[in-house]
Amino acid sequence: MAAALQLQTHPCFHGTCQLSPPPRPSVSFPSSSRSFPSSRRSLSAHVKAAASSLSTTTLQEGIAEFYDQSSGIWEDIWGDHMHHGYYDPDSNVSGSDHPAAQIRMIEESLRFAGITEDPANKPKTIVDVGCGIGGSSRYLARKYGAKCQGITLSPVQAGRANALAKDQGLADKVSFQVADALNQPFPDDQFDLVWSMESGEHMPDKPKFVKELARVAAPGGTIIIVTWCHRDLGPSEEDLQPWEKKLLNRICNAYYLPEWCSTSDYVKLLQSLSLQDIKAADWTENVAPFWPAVIRSALTWKGFTSLLRSGLKTIKGALVMPLMIQGYQKGVIKFAIITCRKPE
């Protein structure tokens, strides 16, 4: 949800988090794994299909303009983190829980990836791919004392992120720039932690996206991808059902997304690069309260008047928010975390 083509304290900082249930099972994959069902279409044909319908330049411009217009209203209503919150399934959630749930999403992602807090092994250099206004970067810099660099397609986001870093006394730790996640302005083997919080859905070339994440990761470094996916295809399926594709296309048109891929597609891409300790999990149940809360915030007087001032692209995005809920409820959309480690 933060722009990058790129395009988000403690988990209970606000005192409203509930205790976590036992961890949801995840699936780990050795490099040779073939555990996920696959389509009969080749992987590259499936995940590159969007490039034929919309040029990368046009897509980048649309993403940048969308987040230039919408980031201010998001910050005003929701704060620093432009991503889902992590909730206990079936919990009753009040409005005050949401900022804590967004912090919890960061903490749960780090826990799932096995990021250590051991001073000798904690990440010292981090890249935030799709940084938004820098919420994750500032949080991670404080938590680990790390140097963090963020990239976004939105000049408005990069400027605001740098301003917030300066205001919060973190200008020596974090910095932000406009850059393309498919052609990152960093040397090889640079970062202990490569962080992509809800930016993968904007990438028109998923193989190139994953390859860039792996390229900039330091040997032994961890890659964390948290992203929207469509459901995994069954062994006999060549594609999603027509009604499923129609639903996703309506969301794509509003949020400047290319064709979606599945969690299994990401796993295969990571395997193709010989990355290690590949793990994936479906957190769809854990984010269920998020979009209803966003809709409720848009229906307040503050949210409504802010939407009217923010521009047509933001209004268009707001109008399709119910489709995200529908996609989750019907099992078409999955909220996935995929993590791995670069060989030393």
Distance CA 282, CA 278 (A): 14
The pLDDT of residue 134 is 96
pLDDT digits (tens, 9 = 90+) for 316-342: 667 788 999 999 999 999 999 999 999
13 pLDDT band, cuts 50/70/90, is very low
pLDDT for residue 45 is more than 70:
no
* 339: number of Cβ within 10 Å: 24
Distance CA 322, CA 324 (A): 5
Instruction: Output the six-digit token pair for 44.
Output: 């590259």
pLDDT for residue 232 is more than 50:
yes
Mean pLDDT in the chain?
82
What percentage of the chain reaches a pLDDT higher than 70? 75
pLDDT for residue 37 is more than 50:
no
Q: Enter the DSSP assignment of 11.
A: T
The size of the chain, in residues, is 344
- List b or e across 46-58, with b for residues whose CB sees 16 or more CB atoms inside 10 angstroms: bbbebeeebebee
36: phi then psi, degrees, rounded to nearest 5: -80, 145
User: Higher-confidence residue: 234 or 26?
Assistant: 234
Q: Is 248 helix (H, G, I), strand (E, B) or coil?
A: helix
HSE-CB of 205 using CA atoms within 13 angstroms: 16
Which helix (DSSP H) or strand (DSSP E) does residue 293 occupy? helix 290-298
> How far from each other are the two terminal CA atoms of the chain, in whole angstroms?
31
User: Higher-confidence residue: 54 or 296?
Assistant: 296
User: Higher-confidence residue: 294 or 240?
Assistant: 240
Residue pair 270/210 in contact (Cβ under 8 Å)? The answer is yes
- List b or e across 263-291, with b for residues whose CB sees 16 or more CB atoms inside 10 angstroms: bbbbbbbbbebebebbbbbbbbebbbbbb
Average of pLDDT values for 15-36? Answer: 43
Q: Is pTM, for the whole model, over 0.95?
A: no
pLDDT for residue 172 is more than 50:
yes
pLDDT for residue 202 is more than 70:
yes
Tokens 């975390």 sit at which residue? 337
Average of pLDDT values for 191-195? Answer: 98
- What residue type is assigned to position 169 of the chain? G
CATH superfamily of 69-342: Vaccinia Virus protein VP39 (3.40.50.150)
Question: 23-32, 45-54, 131-140 — which is least confidently predicted?
Answer: 45-54
- List b or e across 177-215, with b for residues whose CB sees 16 or more CB atoms inside 10 angstroms: ebbbbbebebeeebbbbbbbbbbbbbbbbbbbbbebbbb
The pLDDT of residue 320 is 82
- Residues whose CB is less than 8 angstroms from the CB of residue 53 and which lie 6 or more positions away in sequence, other chains included: 258, 259
Q: Are strands 191-197 and 174-178 parallel, antiparallel or unpaired?
A: unpaired
The pLDDT of residue 27 is 65
pLDDT for residue 96 is more than 50:
yes
